[in-house]
Chain A
Amino acid sequence: DGGITQSPKYLFRKEGQNVTLSCEQNLNHDAMYWYRQDPGQGLRLIYYSQIVNDFQKGDIAEGYSVSREKKESFPLTVTSAQKNPTAFYLCASSIRGPTYGYTFGSGTRLTVV
């Protein structure tokens, strides 16, 4: 079945470490997105990519980095520059156009220890 796979489901990071969250889709979607969600809050856009080897910053890109070397994959690295990384991270993909919503992964919960 087609869908988006995020891994791991839970991730613990020590202070000063970089960690990478995985996001893979087999829906043949061009666009992929990363969102951050804090408790009781809405979704804030970190980065998005419309096509392979191209990506743009969202509203809260500082302290994060991404790559898009393959259409199917859009990993997110949370760097040590991100001062408050504890949050729930959601990856999504979509077809271009206003009539299409996103397909979401099941999320990764990152905790700094």
Chain B
Amino acid sequence: AQKITQTQPGMFVQEKEAVTLDCTYDTSDPSYGLFWYKQPSSGEMIFLIYQGSYDQQNATEGRYSLNFQKARKSANLVISASQLGDSAMYFCAMRGGSGAGSYQLTFGKGTKLSVIP
């Protein structure tokens, strides 16, 4: 079974500072994908970044980067130069490489990020 753990229910960050949102995962699949989504108060789920289990380098997308430590089974999201519009819920998710897991995304409980002016 797959499991995603986000241990920070809420976080605050000063505008223009960097922030790290924690995510650990557990799976027995050798092949899997890790995803981060942003959910603003409007409710839509916005895809941010993806990391494959075999990727050698950490993924980056603009101000978002994923600190992937495979041995520790962690996939932390780093947001650089925080903006007020970054205030939202952030979800870490994982998708396995085989069987039913290859269809389903397993989500963590999320971290609510608040950016302070």
Q: Which A residues are closer than 8 A to B by beta carbons?
A: 31, 33, 40-43, 45, 48, 50, 56, 88, 90, 92, 94, 96-104, 106-107, 109
Contact = CB atoms under 8 A, between A and B. Distances in A.
Interface string B26-49: 000101110101000011110100
A94 B105 CA distance: 10
Nearest to B29: A98
Interface of B: 29, 31-33, 35, 37, 42-45, 47, 50, 52-53, 91, 93, 95-97, 100, 102-105, 107-110, 112
The interface centre, meaning the residue of A48, A103, A104 with most chain B CB atoms within 10 A of its CB, is A104
A50 B103 contact: yes
Contacts, number: 65
9 contacts: A42-B110, A43-B107, A45-B104, A94-B103, A96-B102, A96-B103, A101-B47, A102-B47, A106-B44
A48 B43 contact: no
A42 B31 CA distance: 24
Contacts of B95: 97-98, 100-101
B109 A41 contact: yes
Contact of A106 (B37, B43, B102, B103): B43
Nearest to B43: A107
Contacts of B32: 98
A42 B109 contact: yes
Nearest to B52: A99
